[in-house]
Amino acid sequence: MLDIVQLSPSADHRLQLLLSSIFAKVVLVKSYDEGMQVAKEHNLTCITTDLEVVYAGAFISKVGHYNRA
């Protein structure tokens, strides 16, 4: 994720430390199954294209706005 989330060169260097601590162990994946495998094997948090978050302990959560109809 650090390749995607970047600060401007003039930003306070402490913000880069904050981003590193938040996104250093986060990976974007295509599917839930891929996220489960990566999360377990590499102890990473994965976010799917459907905005499902698979935590390193294989716990899943849905984030973002979605219709509850």
Question: What is the predicted pLDDT for the residue at 52?
Answer: 87
Mean pLDDT, residues 34-61: 83
In a domain, 2, yes or no: no
**E-only strand ranges, 1-69:** 26-29, 45-48, 52-54, 60-62
In a domain, 68, yes or no: no
Q: pLDDT digits over 10-42, tens only?
A: 888 888 888 788 777 888 899 989 988 888 888
pTM of the model: 0.61
Higher pLDDT, 29 or 5: 29
CB count in 10 Å sphere of residue 42: 11
Mean residue pLDDT of the chain comes to 78
**Domain around 35:** 13-62
In a domain, 48, yes or no: yes
Question: What is the predicted pLDDT for the residue at 23?
Answer: 75
